[in-house]
Amino acid sequence: MNQNSVKAIGINDESRNNASVAYINQIEGLKDILNMDFDEWSNFDSWESISIQQWIFSRALEIYKGKKIDIKCDCCEHINNLPSDFNNIKKEKCFGKKSAYMIEKVLNEIVLAKLRRESDGTYSA
């Protein structure tokens, strides 16, 4: 996995040549979820839409398999950078950055599950 595997891009930003583009406005209901309070939208398991969960999970799996994804939001003209640690994600308004955060969060769970399967079943890896 590459650290630059997921990137949020704005309306006027070009996607990377080696990345697939995921358009936020094509995922019906995603903005509604991401518009909720942080405690609600950041709790992936509480989302009522299985199809939106599957969309996030599929993007995380693509990244896990080595692909790069650019998430094109329609709320920003340009996105200069994506935070590496998402410390201020609670204050974020951009749907692209919020989606990238959720994809990264699910990706981390995929990696942790793989480590657990490869070890003795504990999280001590």
The per-residue pLDDT of the chain, averaged, comes to: 87
**CA dist 13 → 6, 16, 74, 98 (Å):** 14, 9, 11, 17
For residue range 54-102, list pLDDT tens digits in order. Answer: 999 999 999 999 999 999 998 889 887 665 666 778 888 899 999 999 9
Spatial contact of 56 and 99, defined as CB atoms under 8 Å apart: yes
Give mean pLDDT, residues 25-35.
Answer: 94
pTM of the entire predicted model: 0.84
User: What local confidence, expressed as pLDDT, does residue 82 receive?
Assistant: 63
Rounded-to-integer distance, Cα 41 and Cα 101, Å: 11
Task: Indicate if the pLDDT at residue 2 is higher than 80.
Answer: no
Long-range contacts of 18-23 (CB under 8 A, 24+ apart): 18/68, 19/67, 19/68, 19/69, 19/70, 20/62, 20/67, 20/68, 20/69, 20/70, 21/69, 21/70, 21/71, 21/72, 22/59, 22/69, 22/70, 22/71, 22/72, 22/99, 23/72, 23/74
3-class DSSP assignment, residue 39 = helix
Give mean pLDDT, residues 41-53.
Answer: 93
